[in-house]
Structure 1
Amino acid sequence: MKKTIKINREFITLGQLLKHVNIISSGGMAKWYLAEHTVLVDTEIENRRGKKLYPGSVVEIPNEGTYFIQSEEASTESIEDKK
């Protein structure tokens, strides 16, 4: 599955993306998930939940999907600021 994720700020973290796309249910699960599963960010294996994802980044998660990060102006799905 290929999906475009729109963000309305400069970047999001990999942990925030995993939660947004319902791969994990809480931010605390990100470290565990990344230790147990292969996640590629721009074709490189990534295991840091705090990895910053900017518009143009591509996140590939085998058996889950491929996610393209775009700025708010370029896509239809948004990750809202949660404060």
Structure 2
Amino acid sequence: MTSEPVIEVPIRDEAIKLGQLLKLSGLVEDGAEARELIQTGRVSVDGEVETRRARQVRPGSRVELPGAVMTVVRSEP
């Protein structure tokens, strides 16, 4: 278990691609940084290492990367 605070990232749709989520959260500067983190196995979704940028992440999912933990929530309309 990590000691980082959990950041809630609201999304409007039913799901979002993992790479887009990292950019939306502001935890990475751009798509290249997101790709690097994901492809090198430094991102996990719901406790499992994920290496696909296009992985669909849904509200309720927990995403961890070095120095940060986030949960995906559905934004209010």
Q: Which runs of 4+ in 1 moved over 6 A?
A: none
The residue number in structure 2 matching 1:77 is none
Unaligned runs of 5+ in 1: 74-83
The match for 2:16 is 12
Task: State the AA in 2 paired with 1:36.
Answer: T
Q: Distance in 1 between matches of 2:34 and 2:10?
A: 20
Q: Which residue of 2 aligns with 1:34?
A: 38
Question: Relative to 1, partners in 2 of residues 1:23 and 1:3: Cα closer, same or farther, differing over 3 Å?
Answer: closer
Q: Aligned-residue CA RMSD in angstroms?
A: 1.6
Distance (whole Å) between structure 2 residues aligned to residue 21 and residue 49 of structure 1: 15
2:51 pairs, out of 32, 47, 50, with: 47
Shift of 1:72: 1.2
Q: 1:62 to 1:25 in 2, by over 3 A?
A: closer
Q: Paired residues, what number?
A: 72
**1:37 Cα deviation (Å)?**
4.9
TM-score (ref. length: structure 2): 0.78
Identity %: 35
**Structure 1 pair 31/61, CA: closer, same or farther in 2 (3 Å)?**
same
> What is the deviation of 1:17?
1.1
What is the SS of the residue equivalent to 1:66? Answer: strand
Structure-1-length-normalised TM-score:
0.74
Q: Which has the higher contact order (CA 8 A, sep 6+)?
A: 1
